[in-house]
Amino acid sequence: MSDARPNPAPPAHAPPVVELVDAAIAGGNGETIPVLEAVTWAVAPGSFWVVGGLPGAGKSQLLQTAAGLLRPLRGAHRLFGSDLTALAGPERDELRRRVGFVFAEGARLFGHLSVLQNIALPLCYHGDCGFEAVADQVRGWLQAGELEGFARWLPGRLNQGWRRRVALVRALALEPEVLFLDDPLAGLDPRQAAWWLNLLTHLATGPAGSPPRLPFRRSAGEHPFTLVVATDQLGPWVELGRQFALLAGHRWRDVGGRAEVTTAADPRVRELLAPPPTAT
């Protein structure tokens, strides 16, 4: 990854894609005790954030709140400049459609639908059309994800890596403007991890990036994607991410860019940069 191309600058004067102001973040399910306090975070268009933290630090909750899937306990939350807490119904749905999310464990595929149907469902739902109308598009996405061989399989037959890949393709097929990825490399073998890093490099650099070419229909592929990744291993992301944040002690902290993260003296950052401990 050392030959990564220079990243294009985000458009000037564009409002942040996501903005959290003094937000208290809790898990869903009616939890009232925050896992993170006083989070103030702005994600600019075209940026690539990597949020590091040990397991249990609140990464998933932060990402789900930023994506509008959970509501913050306190504080302001704006998505594409609109106050999400004040919106309801179709306006909220419309904003959320501009956000893609790839979950961590199990990738949360629909267990009763095949891989093909998992990818086609959101396209058919939002396009109000039958499968025939999106068949070419779905085939293109299956190809982009190297999933053609599994098209008719139910998710239960796939291993974790392939399942997560289906979840990524399913999210990308809706051509979101910002993509949240919750620990996408966790438990992947080196070959799968390399595929992910290659694809995300392509998304982060826009059309100037190298193949794989992705079958976007609208303008989603013309600009660099806004990407937010949560991870407990910063190592693989150092060359790819542009801004880094740390979650520790119920707090969110902006660590800075690549230079700052690689030279950070904070032992918590060093711990996340170190290779995972192996059994002796």
Partner 1 sequence: MDQGSGRVRHVADVLAALESPLPRSYTNFVGRWLLHWGDTGRGLAAFALITLGVLLTKSNTATAVVRPLIRAQIARAGLYQLPMVAFLAGALGFVVVGQTVALLTRVGAQNLVGTVMVSVVVRELGPLVTALVVLLRTGTATVIELGTARALGEIEALEALGIDPVHYLVVPRVLGMAIAVFALTAYFILGAIFSGYLFAFLQDVPLLPGDYFRQLALALTWQDFVLLALKSAGFGIVIAVITCFQGLARPLELAEVSVVTTRALVASLLTCVMLDALFLLVYLAL
Sorted by sequence, the CB contacts under 8 Å of residue 225 that are 6+ apart come out as 46, 177, 178, 179, 203, 204, 206
Phi then psi for residue 68, to 5 deg, are 85, 10
Among 67, 84, 147, 199, binds partner 1 (CB under 8 A): 67
Among 6, 89, 190, 277, binds partner 1 (CB under 8 A): 89
Residue among 97 and 258 whose Cβ is closer to partner 1: 97
Taking CB under 8 A as the rule, does residue 35 contact partner 1?
Answer: no
**Shortest separation between residue 218's beta carbon and partner 1, angstroms:** 15
Taking CB under 8 A as the rule, does residue 59 contact partner 1?
Answer: no
Structure tokens at 139: 């085939």
Give the Cα separation of 273 and 114 in Å (integer): 38
Taking CB under 8 A as the rule, does residue 223 contact partner 1?
Answer: no
Taking CB under 8 A as the rule, does residue 32 contact partner 1?
Answer: no
First to last CA, the chain: 29
Contact yes or no for 248/55 (Cβ under 8 A): no
Give the Cα separation of 260 and 38 in Å (integer): 23
Strand, helix or coil for residue 265: coil
Taking CB under 8 A as the rule, does residue 187 contact partner 1?
Answer: no
Taking CB under 8 A as the rule, does residue 171 contact partner 1?
Answer: yes
Residues 117-156 contacting partner 1, CB under 8 A: 121-122, 124-126, 128-130
Residues that bind partner 1 (CB under 8 A): 28-29, 64, 67, 69, 89, 93, 96-97, 99-101, 103, 105-106, 108-112, 121-122, 124-126, 128-130, 167, 170-171, 174
